[in-house]
């Protein structure tokens, strides 16, 4: 708990930082209370600190540590789990002004401040013929700091891995205001405990990232796109398992019938409304190997009963990927939503989706599903009207329980934040929760960093 007179101490923080860094203007503060999950329990912070450099982050954290004030670190605010919901009496520490990006072509890394957007890193790398693969659907609006905080995934993870696979170094401001550097511009480094990997995905509960060294790879080769229309989700899942056994698609996305129709209602794209499920897959294998891989995927899909369309035209292919990316806004347009991020072992995808359908029926809510099917990571989206909120929340928890029962996870890439904190012990169990708490207490003994996130 903050000292009771923290508000009275705020002028010290204001005076210690340049003009305009600390703001208490309620109109300015208001949008910093929420991320995209619109957490109804979000608090009202004392102030928003929009730091311009790591030293200002240290000043703010030192002040907070001295007075026991909660600090909620915040990137672009596009989080989907309430990981940056404001806390009453705390400060929001926004990194949005720290956006420098430096590409080191010799070391093949990007050195990036946390407020830089994912798309900005991709663009800067592309100018040198290099590529930063992680690609959350929100890549045009989400920040690298947020990506690191959640260990964000995306569409190309199925072949290229997630954020942690690309983080070679971090500068982190600790809970007492000290700044440490972990890792650096070296590809392999096993000196000491893997603290670098521990900070990735820690959702601001262990420290505040002020700089990241990100591995880049050569630019992605040209892609071909396959769209396969299945009578049932189970058929699509069968194809996903078959493809994964011998091929490495660079994308393997699934839309169920409800999400296909939501997109068609939102913006007609010519998708097959009668399909039980669509797979949108890509291959970026080099040269003629691409055509071979796509034909292999076609055969696997047809064997599972699909009608298949293939295009080598990048613009045409992008239309289908855009349709998949559009699913979230299209579904949001139908009402209030609760967005799931559950994952299961890949062969259990049909079973998970059958259970989601049963939960939708039982709770009388609509639950369209899109999925990074190649990774077994799905996004059931619970759509509800205001009077159905209780049923929707019950369905939200039932879907997480179903994933846990199938040996899965409540979150594959969005993070636990506050939205899923109550379900985390159900997945991890008491012993692993206790390990989480011990590590948290070791690195943030006063518990000032993002209290409540992850239930810590």
Q: Rule CB under 8 A: which of 325-364 touch its own copies?
A: 343-347
Q: Is the dihedral of CA 167, 173, 174, 180 positive or negative?
A: positive
Residues 288-307 that bind its own copies (CB under 8 A): 288-289, 292-293
Q: Tell me how far, at minimum, the Cβ of 114 lies from its own copies, in Å.
A: 18
We find the least distance from the C-beta atom of residue 57 to its own copies, in angstroms, to be 16
Judged by CB under 8 A, does residue 433 bind its own copies? Answer: yes
Cα(16)–Cα(5) distance, rounded to whole angstroms? 18
Q: Is 120 in the site for its own copies (CB under 8 A)?
A: no
CA gap 155, 164 in Å, rounded: 15
Binding-site size, its own copies (CB under 8 A): 91
Taking the least distance from each CB to its own copies, the nearer of 6 and 174 is 174
Residue 220 per-residue DSSP state:
P
Would you count residue 127 as binding its own copies (CB under 8 A)? Answer: no
Q: Report if residue 184 touches its own copies, rule: CB under 8 A.
A: yes
The residue within the footprint of its own copies, chosen from 8, 15, 40, 190 (CB under 8 A), is: 190
How far is it, in rounded angstroms, from Cα 246 to Cα 231? 24
* Least distance to its own copies, CB of residue 323, Å: 23
Residue 211: burial class (beta carbons within 10 Å; 0-12, 13-18, 19+)? buried
Give 3-state DSSP helix, strand, coil % of the chain, rounded to 5.
40, 20, 40
Question: Residue 41, interface with its own copies (CB under 8 A)?
Answer: no
Contact mark string toward its own copies, 410..429, x via CB under 8 A: xxxxxxx---x---x--xxx
Q: Is 71 exposed, middle or buried (0-12, 13-18, 19+ CB in 10 A)?
A: buried
Whole-number Å distance between alpha carbons of 391 and 406:
22
- Least CB distance to its own copies at residue 392 (A): 21
* Chain residues 243-282 in contact with its own copies, contact rule CB under 8 A: 244-248
Contact 81, 37 (CB under 8 A): yes
285 lies in the binding site for its own copies (CB under 8 A): yes
List the interface residues with its own copies, window 133-162 (CB under 8 A).
150-151, 153, 157-158, 161-162
Taking contact as CB under 8 A, which single stretch among the options 87-95, 241-249, 251-259, 265-273 is the one that binds its own copies? 241-249
DSSP summary character for residue 168 = E
Closest CB 161 distance from its own copies, rounded Å: 7
- CB of residue 215 to its own copies, shortest distance in Å: 10
Q: Which stretch binds its own copies (CB under 8 A): 13-21, 67-75, 274-282, 438-446?
A: 438-446
Supply the DSSP string of 22-36, one letter for each residue: EE--HHHHGGGG--T
Site for its own copies, residues 90 to 119, rule: CB under 8 A: 105-108
Q: What is the DSSP string of 92-132?
A: EEE-TT---EEEETTTTEEEE-TTSBHHHHHHHHHTTTEE-
The tally of CA atoms less than 13 A away on the side-chain side of residue 67 is 23
Per-residue binder mask for its own copies (CB under 8 A), 368-407, x = binder: ----x--xxx-----------------------------x
Q: In b/e form, how buried is each residue of 255-268, taking b as 16+ CB within 10 angstroms?
A: bbbbbbbbbbebee
Residue 178 lies near its own copies (rule: CB under 8 A): yes
Q: Is 130 in the site for its own copies (CB under 8 A)?
A: yes
188 lies in the binding site for its own copies (CB under 8 A): yes
Closest contact distance (angstroms) between CB of 385 and its own copies is: 30
């Amino acid at each position: 708990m903050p000292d009771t007179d923290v508000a009275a101490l705020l002028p010290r923080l204001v005076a210690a930082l340049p003009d305009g860094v600390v703001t208490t203007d309620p109109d300015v503060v208001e949008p910093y209370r929420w991320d995209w999950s619109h957490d109804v329990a979000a608090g009202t912070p004392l102030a928003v600190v929009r730091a311009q450099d790591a030293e200002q982050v240290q000043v703010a954290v030192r002040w907070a540590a001295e007075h026991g004030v909660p600090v909620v670190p915040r990137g672009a605010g596009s989080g989907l789990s309430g990981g940056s919901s404001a806390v009453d009496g705390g400060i929001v520490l926004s990194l949005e002004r720290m956006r420098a990006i430096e590409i080191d072509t010799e070391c093949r890394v990007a050195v990036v401040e946390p407020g830089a957007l994912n798309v900005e890193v991709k663009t800067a790398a592309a100018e040198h013929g290099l590529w930063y693969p992680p690609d959350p659907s929100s890549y045009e609006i989400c920040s690298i700091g947020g990506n690191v905080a959640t260990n964000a995934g995306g569409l190309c993870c199925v072949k290229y891995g997630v954020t942690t696979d690309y983080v070679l170094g971090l500068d982190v401001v600790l809970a007492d205001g000290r700044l440490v550097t972990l890792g650096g511009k070296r590809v392999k480094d096993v000196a000491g405990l893997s603290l670098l990997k521990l900070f990735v995905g820690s959702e601001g509960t262990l420290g505040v990232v002020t700089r990241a060294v990100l591995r880049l790879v050569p630019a992605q080769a040209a892609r071909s796109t396959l769209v396969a229309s299945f009578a049932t989700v189970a058929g699509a899942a069968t194809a996903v398992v078959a493809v994964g056994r011998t091929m490495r698609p660079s994308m393997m996305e699934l839309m169920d019938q409800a999400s296909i129709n939501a997109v068609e209602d939102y913006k007609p794209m010519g998708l097959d409304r009668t399909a039980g499920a669509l797979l949108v897959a890509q291959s970026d294998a080099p040269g003629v190997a691409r055509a071979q891989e796509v034909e292999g995927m076609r055969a696997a899909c047809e064997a599972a009963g699909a009608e298949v369309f293939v295009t080598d035209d990048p613009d045409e292919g992008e239309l289908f990927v855009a349709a998949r990316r559009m699913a979230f806004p299209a579904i949001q347009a139908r009402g209030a939503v609760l967005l799931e991020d559950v994952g299961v072992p890949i062969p259990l995808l049909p079973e998970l989706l059958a259970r989601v359908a049963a939960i939708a029926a039982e709770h009388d809510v609509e639950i369209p599903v899109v999925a990074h099917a190649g990774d077994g990571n799905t996004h059931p989206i619970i759509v509800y009207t205001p009077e159905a909120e209780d049923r929707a929340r019950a369905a939200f928890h039932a879907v997480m329980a179903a994933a846990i029962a199938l040996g899965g996870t409540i979150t594959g890439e969005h993070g636990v934040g506050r939205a899923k904190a109550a379900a985390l012990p159900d997945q991890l169990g008491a012993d692993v929760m206790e390990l989480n708490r011990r590590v948290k207490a070791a690195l943030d003994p006063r518990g000032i960093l993002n209290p409540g996130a992850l239930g810590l």
